[in-house]
Structure 1
Amino acid sequence: MNIGEIRDSARNRMKGFCNVCKECNGVYCSGKVPGMGGAGTGNSMKRNFEMLSKVKLNLKTIHNTVNPDTSVELWGMKLGLPLIGAPVTGSEINMGGYLTEEEYCKNVVKGCLMADTLAMIGDSGNPDFYLSGLDAIKDNNGKGIAIIKPRENKKIIENIKKAEQSGALAVGIDIDGAGLVTMALLGQPVGPKSKEDLIEIVKSTTLPVILKGIMSVEEAKLAVEVGAKAIVVSNHGGRVLDDALSSVDVLPEIAQAVKGKIIIMSDGSVRDGKDIFKYIALGADYVLSARPLIWGAIGSGEEGVKQYINHMKNGLYQTMILTGANDIKSIDNKMIKLT
């Protein structure tokens, strides 16, 4: 299958949950939570797309960059590109149910590894979904990252221990999931975390801890203080708070404040290689993406995930050639302009 065929297959199998629109701008799926859309009016998801679209690339072709290096390293593992699969759960609830949760997790974790990168697995109102993700990580020699919802600390630490047993490379808390409608509907309490809560969580494990959902300089600095190894600048895909700022709005100032003190990841409307480039230029070290991997997994299984990531890698490679970036560390904010 080529990318067009994978997208067509995913569209047919997702039964209206996702239209796999030519421009994935959050309009078709506005308010579809549960589902694939943004919370409320969908304005937060739409803003993710709109603000990323305003980041323009500076074309440069007088230079020596002919074969740029897209590879990076994360906690001792070499990745073919600075893209990581974002944590996603609820195949039956949010994606139309073509794949079981177990099938979805296996396709994404294996497909990412086939494309020389990593997937994060997620947590859900159904505790079995988290276990399905851990099984996929264990089946692939621990090459994956486990992200846990902001439950009470006791439960989070229990889930961290399960991740350790699976051999996971790292763990994280998607504190941006504190207001998820789907968790409330399934009777699973989640909520914000205090500084003391986070210190307890970080001290409970020797694995690197990621805090996902950091959207201010103040909280980025707190993440450094509590000992987290990475943050994800993210508004949870616009799925938790209507009219929220986008990652593009806040990433540059967060990077200015904590770059080099903590690993910075970011997400929000990442659909192709140039989007990866834009986030790196805005200050991220790594970029997360969800929808293309969902389309790949549902459209054509693990091979579809691999093919979609390779498609994004090729786009990143071409963007680097046409902006003069020899490697990922060469990408900076001089190569873009926010219009």
Structure 2
Amino acid sequence: MKEIKDKAREMMKGFCRVCKVCDGRACAGEVPGMGGLGTGASFKANLEALEGYRLNMRLLHDAAEPDTSVSLLGYDLSMPVLAAPIGGVSFNMGGGVSEEDYAGAVVTGCAKAGVIGCTGDGVPPVIHESGFSAIAENGGRGIPFIKPWEGAELDEKLEKARATGCTVFGMDVDAAGLITLRQMGRPVAPKPAAELKKIIDKVHSWDAKFILKGVMTPDEAELAAEVGADAIVVSNHGGRVLDHTPGTAEVLPEVVEHAHGKIVILVDGGIRTGADVLKMLALGANGVLIGRPVSVAAVGGLTEGVAKYFETLRAQLSGAMVLTGCKDIASIDTNVLF
């Protein structure tokens, strides 16, 4: 991983410093780029919220070889982890690798590691085209995320995504405030419940599932369940759309309290290590999405870099489960937290 990070630092110079601690301090306000919007407070809040939780160490048990595997959204996974949908290599990551190579590295590297890669959307078209191609090349094993476009573009992209053979679709509604897209003359917008329901009903008619990413409050989690979404992602878009939001680990417990059992609850934001994954699962998430570390691994090592990152992450998660007395994912609960 050190070699992968060193290579990524060289390739992403001027766009991401690949800091020893990826906490959003050095890159605050660098959007485009890998930073958080404005003061970077939302990006930093994600890390600070996770750091605020401590783990109870327990060793008087028989959980010596924990099972990290799980079934989630119709997938059998080596651990409850997905690669978050990120695109725009040229203007966010320095263009050291092509969009096609980046998307292929994420989706294929995830498949090798037994997890799922999500693909991004945006401007120019090569972003979604590369993602769709990577999913198709992996036999439909991947989740295409489509932004909340205005007009016919949304339906057109849904149909193109369907052709990849995927069984799960996503919409990152938290992208509704992205400055970069509006500057490019391609506005995205929030989606009212009635419109969302029509989109979800269409996806369900294809015998597929739908994930809504960008839910930060209990009322919207319940609303997402009411309109038929199969899963939500508690996410502030990595702190890149609205300054001064709380960290996702701060809002997750209340979302879980209101929506548990009604919908699959995923979360992203500041997750870097296996211990971070364990914390989010202990707070009630069914799974997590990881963004920036996967991007660094993809730029620095392509497919093998992504696979190596997830191999490392799984070892960390397994080790943390041993040291907190968790024999499998189902046994992780709030007792893990101090």
TM surpasses 0.5: yes
Following TM superposition, by how much is the alpha carbon of 1:272 offset from its aligned partner in structure 2, in angstroms?
Answer: 1.1
Q: 1:77 and 1:37 mapped to 2: Cα distance?
A: 31
In structure 1, the partner of 2:226 is 225
Deviation readout 1:35-57 (Å, 9 max, x if unpaired): 00000010110111111111111
1:260 is aligned to 261
Distance 1:321 1:249 in 2: 25
Cross-structure match for 1:180: 178
Partner in structure 2 of residue 199 of structure 1: 197
1:281 alignment counterpart: 282
Report the Cα distance in structure 1 between the residues aligned to 2:61 and 2:215, rounded to whole angstroms: 37
Q: Which deviations, in whole Å up to 9, do the C-alpha atoms of 1:95-122 show, x marking residues without a partner?
A: 0100111110001100000101110001
Question: 1:4-44 CA deviation, whole Å, 9 max, x = no partner?
Answer: 11111111110131111111110011000000000001011
8 Å CA contact 2:48, 2:247 repeated in 1: no
Measure the CA separation in 2 of the matches of 1:52 and 1:328. Answer: 19
Which amino acid in the other structure matches residue 31 of structure 2?
V
When the two structures are aligned, how many residues end up with a matched partner?
335
TM-score of the two chains, using structure 2 as the length reference: 0.97
Please say if residues 153 and 197 of structure 1, whose CA atoms lie closer than 8 Å, have aligned partners that are also in contact.
Answer: no
Q: 1:15 aligns with which of 9, 13, 16?
A: 13
2:91 to 89, 93, 107: 93
Structure 1: runs of 5 or more not aligned? none
Instruction: Look up the match of 1:190.
Output: 188
Deviation at 1:87, TM superposition (A): 0.1
The DSSP-based 3-state class of the residue aligned with 1:264 is: strand
Cα deviation code 1:289-309 (max 9, x no counterpart): 011211111111100000001
Q: Is the Cα contact below 8 Å between 2:275 and 2:317 reproduced in 1?
A: yes
Distance, in Å, in 2 between the alignment partners of 1:106 and 1:12 is 21
- Cα distance in 2 between the residues matched to 1:280 and 1:291: 19
TM-score where L is the length of structure 1: 0.97
Query: Does 2:334 correspond to 1:328?
Result: no
Q: What amino acid maps onto 1:140 in structure 2?
A: N
Match of 1:143 among 134, 141, 144: 141
Distance 1:227 1:156 in 2: 18
Say which SS state the counterpart of residue 181 (structure 2) adopts.
helix
Task: Please tell me the residue identity of whatever aligns with 1:315.
Answer: Q
Distance in 2 between the 1:205 and 1:301 partners? 31
Cα distance in structure 2, aligned partners of 1:24 and 1:75: 29
Secondary structure of 1:287's match? Answer: strand
Residue ranges of structure 2 left out of the alignment (5+ in a row): none
Determine the C-alpha separation between the residues in 2 that align with 1:323 and 1:111: 29
2 CA distance for matches of 1:83 and 1:26? 22
Pairing 1:157–2:155 present:
yes
Q: Which residue identity does 2:309 align to in structure 1?
A: Y
What is the RMSD of the two structures over their aligned residues, measured on CA atoms?
0.9
Q: Distance in 2 between matches of 1:204 and 1:264?
A: 22
Rounded to whole Å, the distance in 2 between the matches of 1:29 and 1:245 is 19
Partner Cα distance (2:44, 2:292) in 1: 14
Q: Is the 8 A contact 2:234 2:248 kept in 1?
A: yes
Aligned to 1:113: 111
* CA–CA separation in structure 1 for the residues paired with 2:63 and 2:319: 10
* Distance (Å, rounded) in 1 between the aligned partners of 2:169 and 2:35: 26
Letter in 2 for 1:233: V
- The CA deviation at 1:65 is 0.5
Counterpart code for 1:321: V
Worse overlay, 161-170 or 300-309: 161-170
Counterpart-to-counterpart distance in 2, 1:200 and 1:76: 22
State the partner residue of 1:33. 31
* Paired position in structure 2 for 1:301: 302
1:213 is aligned to 2:214: yes
Could you report, residue by residue, the CA deviation over 1:60-116 in whole angstroms, capped at 9, with x for unpaired residues? 111111000000112332110111000000001000100111110001100000101
Asked whether the equivalents of residues 151 and 190 of structure 1 are also in contact (C-alpha less than 8 Å), the reply is: yes
Matched, 1:52 2:50: yes
1:318 offset after TM fit, Å? 0.2
Contact 2:28 2:40 in 1 (8 A): yes
- Percentage of pairs with the same residue: 46
Corresponding residue SS for 2:163? helix
State whether residues 141 and 167 of structure 1, in contact with CA within 8 Å, keep that contact through their aligned partners in structure 2.
yes
Deviation at 1:242, TM superposition (A): 0.5
User: Is the Cα–Cα contact under 8 Å of residues 126 and 186 in structure 1 kept in the other structure?
Assistant: no
